[in-house]
Structure 1
């Protein structure tokens, strides 16, 4: 996701048996990792399907089992089977479906507003409870007996009969295998304890469920009931060591008190994998609080923000001590975590020392662990650099090259190594350092922005380094940058064109490579009343019979300007040259500016450094006014005036965003958002030629002019 919080510490790779704990990894946006717990109707579908498939000895496919049992579909292979096991399966499923009618009652979330009682779940009927118990007692097959026992307990739970549930549970518990069904039944039993406010026993049962059924860990985490410290201590006294560690982990999940939980679990069972889970959650949560994970420690103006970023000294020392004692089941993780928080404190040498110890605990051939450690070392090395000095950045070139080759996705929560933050923040941080070092071109290449390109002289510096990178780091940056020297030559050529410096524009365009030789679809010397801004106005634009490229266009424009200078057909040549300039703009037909460096679908998104060039047409207006002076008929004058008016209109459109066009956001924010150019002199001038056909054509096609005429006829 684009809104992923920053992270360099990958829980899926740092946690052994990560899949079993994945829902409990830290997620800043939802209760559980990468989402909410919405698995209730289907949490065990795969497991129960596989269990029945094994029991049926392949007589039915998994798909047939799932269709009949989970979807309630008719399956011919079941209906037509004579196998005793298949018949037993069919009979069991029919009972289970009846129980599920009470257990899985669909709830309409809006029903309260219509009838608060309408969706109250019905209790299991006594007849169905008795049938399930009879089936359990009559069954002799261990596999089936186990499942009938669970269905009976489930029916009793949804009947709300706690006493009968306890009696039957006491009957079946000695013979129930300690499998998923048993722990699911413990969950029902815990629910009854909560009903009578016996929260301690409920919590102990949820601890059992948490320890033994990974799929139910989210259920246990949300079901833990906390009252006060006295109740908590009572639960701990009644708990086994295994239950205690689960309770502490659940407490940390619910309250965020990782320090206390880690300390307590470490005293009870140092090799408990829950320690790994909690330290990973602690690291990921604190990454999100810091936001910037590359660079020296910083202070915010807001004291609360600083407090959030600070790691309590007790926790800092605890993590480092646990790492150094090497008693956990994953010493590599603990040394890596200790090194990471040490780096946050600004002790980069201390962090490196801990990373060395992590490397010593890493299993040979574990590439994922090696890459994780390599990433943390690189982040540490970058964070200690506060200015570009000597070859301090150059020395990191190969490590940065390795980093930038990595895929920044999958995103947060999708598994795999978390490279995304390091890729983005390292480039941004180095960009800041290069800007301070007087290398704005490298700053731009690492962190592209319109404002950087707009700085005086930056484009020429970009061309220089793109054409001749001198150091390995510069070569790496050039390889990463999405634009080429040829694209900047093209941009400079357009700048020269905008300024009517055609000789310079041609010379630059010849350095622009394929962009300077790409054929233009339309004839740029044609003019139109309507600009081609949408499908309706584009339909009159035709493909050119004679194709121009940017280079040949400039050459043709030079010919036209030369003819004007010699006084040859000044009106026609002025219109043609003016049209060429106009059609190079955002509103024209040539789309010459629609290249990756400049392109945008709406004018507000044209890069600020190019908006003045793309959005206005001063050279076109100059030549249209020349045409007006040379005109000999009212038809000619009407056309020259109207085309000139279009240039004024476009300039007025740029008004509200001219601050942005100057890469000045503050000026942009202070400008009006309502350009009004209808009352300018242009339309009044055009009305002098109301006797012409061109005037009537404009009235027919131009809505703005229609408004102006209507206003001034009143």
Structure 2
């Protein structure tokens, strides 16, 4: 067979070789990949050849991958199945798959292998009862495997940091003389199967020897006689690695492209190692290519790193049926999606605001895909029809898109994923075609498609690979926007929650009345199934707002309707007013009476009535002040405003609810009332300190408060407490429990 290279490989000096070299900095983004919420096209649907899978578009080093963050760590398993299958056929099934795997792939077989080799060396071939060592093929198998494993001392070692010497450990290299012995075995071997394996073992030995250039020398003088099988391309990848270290980038890259084209198992490795230093390197490698196939493989690698659209165009012009086209198309589509599709995570708890920026669709990609789809001369015309249709939906040409999808249906693969992927884009087109929603026409027509689409929200897509998240969110946004244009606030909210919807009392009443309707159409049932707010939440929300406005009687009426929320038990005693604000302390403290939301409001109303009747005005005013304080952001009863509509948890409160939840308006009013009717200095001291906590909270919400700079000032309440009530027991209690006050007193 003719030499596939333009000339024999001639080497310059070589010292240390790094085989795997990256030339493109790929970012890693943890366990999450970009397509989780931005992509709708799953490459697995139409690229059946698994060798391309790690080359799909990803923010990680490789898509999926065998290792963490998409790194390719499948080197030890990459050829295992092939090696075992080849030996099994050669040995005529005289050694089982399990035993072949044990001897070839497992380090634990070394002891057993050693005993067998002793039997062979002693020429006592009958000593091993399990294996017939009189059979030349079986004997040859064990001799070869033993020799192959002896190379692992060199092939499996790497540099590491030695903390004892503060230096890296040295690599161990095989001597050239040892490698030469393996070459001699290759030269003497006559059996074609064994000779092929000893050829590769010789390549491997020289590659891990002290002079790796010998691997290229050996390759050059033997490669013309070899079949272009997997062993050959594994050896060729060694040659490419040596050339790269010798800075012969042009031929190194050309050889990696040949490996990429002809050895699927090394496709990811060849991609990883492909490394033109500049455009001239790539052009020169193209000049080495003798066939259209070789040129196409170079463009396929160029497309991975540089310009997938140009690569598609060039390969298509060379050979419309080239296998690399489909994988490049998936990368082009996914890359386009990453620029076109966006989500606003500020709306995560309400409904993701998705944006389809069709103006960002690469026009060159659009033109190339349209041209190829219309030509119908690729190996997989359905993929190009689907891609073209997808782009037409994005551009708003819905009828054109529909025709492409009809064409794709004719020859699409008969797999669930392939069919679901096509249906996903058909539903996308169907929704995008809507201009108005009405009960008689469009709602009922689109309903089956939407039910199918939204069913994937419950399935989580883990096993199917189908990417539905973005189009589910986009559909909700789009339908909500149509309803908003039509003035239908209720259905707009059902499809896409808005943070401020319930701040408008009229809209609150509209939603409540709608949810109270007895008769519900299929469309109503579907829309409400997407919505995470129910009547209980609305009644609870109204009760909370009324409570913060000190309209307790009306609040109780609303809360009584909230069958679930009214029985929610508050974690701490909401009537306690302690010196320290410590929610956790209050929550674990003994509580003689546990208050639910409803019993809390009823008790507040009872205390209010007592206050109006002039019964123990000081104590009742303090209790009411404590109640309003504890239901605020600063108190121990934050659970009181736990509500899906308000949706405020933790230490961050949205601007929409800060005025309500940060407010201590009524606490301040009741503490002031308590101070006015206090009978002695102890009572006055307590009222002054509780008012000072409110003064402190107000300071926190002014520009004067600067965390880690100005987080404490001399509050007026502190001054009053020190000046007028220093002789009280309560004053001493505050010094003991409040570090800020203690600092103020002692400075």
TM range (shorter): 0.7 to 0.9
Decide whether the 8 Å contact of 1:616 with 1:654 is kept in 2: no
- Shift of the 485–653 alpha-carbon distance from structure 1 to 2, 3 Å rule, reads farther
Q: Distance in 2 between matches of 1:512 and 1:48?
A: 66
Q: Distance in 2 between matches of 1:589 and 1:199?
A: 69
SS in 1 for 2:158: coil
Q: Distance in 2 between matches of 1:329 and 1:407?
A: 34
Tell me which moved more, 569-578 or 497-506.
569-578
| Aligned residue runs from structure 1 range 247-286, under 5 A | 247-259=298-310, 261-286=311-336
| Aligned residue runs from structure 1 range 549-564, under 5 A | 549-564=596-611
TM-score by length of 2: 0.79
Tell me which moved more, 101-110 or 152-161.
101-110
Q: Distance in 2 between matches of 1:336 and 1:110?
A: 56
Instruction: Give the aligned partner of residue 640 of structure 1.
Output: 687
Q: Deviations over 1:245-275 (max 9, x none)?
A: 323322322321424x334433444333222
Instruction: Give the aligned partner of residue 614 of structure 2.
Output: 567
Q: 1:695 aligns with which of 731, 736, 739?
A: 731
Find out whether 1:46 has 2:80 as its counterpart.
yes
| Aligned residue runs from structure 1 range 589-600, under 5 A | 589-590=636-637, 591-598=639-646
TM-score by length of 1: 0.82
SS in 2 for 1:148: helix
| Aligned residue runs from structure 1 range 357-368, under 5 A | 357-363=407-413, 365-368=414-417
Decide whether the 8 Å contact of 1:266 with 1:275 is kept in 2: yes
SS in 2 for 1:327: coil
Decide whether the 8 Å contact of 2:572 with 2:583 is kept in 1: no
SS in 2 for 1:603: coil
Q: Deviations over 1:523-546 (max 9, x none)?
A: 332332222234xx447622x333
| Aligned residue runs from structure 1 range 28-107, under 5 A | 28=59, 30=61, 37-39=71-73, 41-42=75-76, 44=78, 46-47=80-81, 50-51=84-85, 54=88, 62=98, 65=101, 72-73=107-108, 77-78=112-113, 82=128, 83=131, 84=133, 91-107=143-159
Instruction: Give the aligned partner of residue 634 of structure 2.
Output: 587
User: 1:91: how far off?
Assistant: 4.7
Instruction: Give the aligned partner of residue 53 of structure 2.
Output: 22
User: 1:377: how far off?
Assistant: 1.9
Tell me which moved more, 240-249 or 53-62.
53-62
Find out whether 1:133 has 2:133 as its counterpart.
no
Q: 2:468 aligns with which of 400, 413, 419?
A: 419
- Shift of the 428–706 alpha-carbon distance from structure 1 to 2, 3 Å rule, reads farther
SS in 1 for 2:632: coil
- Shift of the 694–92 alpha-carbon distance from structure 1 to 2, 3 Å rule, reads farther
Q: Deviations over 1:461-520 (max 9, x none)?
A: 443344449665443332112222211211221111111111110011012111102333
Find out whether 1:428 has 2:489 as its counterpart.
no
Instruction: Give the aligned partner of residue 667 of structure 1.
Output: none
Q: Deviations over 1:560-613 (max 9, x none)?
A: 111111111212222222222222223333332334554655321x34433333
Instruction: Give the aligned partner of residue 714 of structure 2.
Output: 679
User: 1:423: how far off?
Assistant: 1.7
Instruction: Give the aligned partner of residue 125 of structure 2.
Output: none
Q: Distance in 1 between matches of 2:423 and 2:583?
A: 51
Decide whether the 8 Å contact of 1:292 with 1:425 is kept in 2: no
Q: Distance in 1 between matches of 2:553 and 2:449?
A: 46
Instruction: Give the aligned partner of residue 261 of structure 2.
Output: 211
- Shift of the 619–235 alpha-carbon distance from structure 1 to 2, 3 Å rule, reads closer
Q: Deviations over 1:259-303 (max 9, x none)?
A: 4x334433444333222222222212211221259999758xxxx
Q: Distance in 1 between matches of 2:438 and 2:706?
A: 45
Q: 2:499 aligns with which of 435, 440, 450?
A: 450
User: 1:192: how far off?
Assistant: 4.7
Q: 2:651 aligns with which of 587, 592, 603?
A: 603
User: 1:370: how far off?
Assistant: 2.2
User: 1:197: how far off?
Assistant: 6.6
Instruction: Give the aligned partner of residue 8 of structure 1.
Output: 40
Q: Distance in 2 between matches of 1:550 and 1:278?
A: 60
- Shift of the 539–368 alpha-carbon distance from structure 1 to 2, 3 Å rule, reads closer
- Shift of the 33–686 alpha-carbon distance from structure 1 to 2, 3 Å rule, reads same
Decide whether the 8 Å contact of 2:33 with 2:59 is kept in 1: no
- Shift of the 32–404 alpha-carbon distance from structure 1 to 2, 3 Å rule, reads closer
Q: Distance in 2 between matches of 1:642 and 1:634?
A: 12
Q: Deviations over 1:121-148 (max 9, x none)?
A: 5653122212222333455665544332
SS in 1 for 2:583: coil
User: 1:37: how far off?
Assistant: 4.7
Q: Unaligned regions of 5+ residues in structure 1, if any?
A: 300-305, 657-669
SS in 2 for 1:377: helix
Decide whether the 8 Å contact of 1:490 with 1:509 is kept in 2: yes
Tell me which moved more, 246-255 or 382-391.
382-391
Q: Distance in 2 between matches of 1:707 and 1:279?
A: 69
Instruction: Give the aligned partner of residue 399 of structure 2.
Output: 349
SS in 1 for 2:736: helix
Q: Distance in 2 between matches of 1:498 and 1:178?
A: 81
Q: Deviations over 1:338-386 (max 9, x none)?
A: 11122233222111111111122335x5332222122112222333456
Q: Distance in 1 between matches of 2:433 and 2:158?
A: 57
Q: 1:244 aligns with which of 295, 305, 321?
A: 295
Q: 2:388 aligns with which of 338, 351, 356?
A: 338
Q: Over aligned residues, Cα RMSD in angstroms? A: 3.9
Q: 1:150 aligns with which of 193, 197, 200?
A: 200
Q: Distance in 1 between matches of 2:110 and 2:285?
A: 53
Q: Distance in 1 between matches of 2:446 and 2:609?
A: 56
- Shift of the 611–109 alpha-carbon distance from structure 1 to 2, 3 Å rule, reads farther
Q: Unaligned regions of 5+ residues in structure 2, if any?
A: 1-30, 117-127, 344-352
Decide whether the 8 Å contact of 2:642 with 2:649 is kept in 1: no
Tell me which moved more, 41-50 or 699-708.
41-50
Decide whether the 8 Å contact of 1:516 with 1:549 is kept in 2: yes
Q: Deviations over 1:132-184 (max 9, x none)?
A: 22333455665544332211111123337678545644675577554422210
Q: How many residues align?
A: 677
Instruction: Give the aligned partner of residue 660 of structure 1.
Output: none
Instruction: Give the aligned partner of residue 362 of structure 2.
Output: 310
- Shift of the 45–615 alpha-carbon distance from structure 1 to 2, 3 Å rule, reads farther
User: 1:337: how far off?
Assistant: 0.9
Decide whether the 8 Å contact of 1:572 with 1:627 is kept in 2: yes
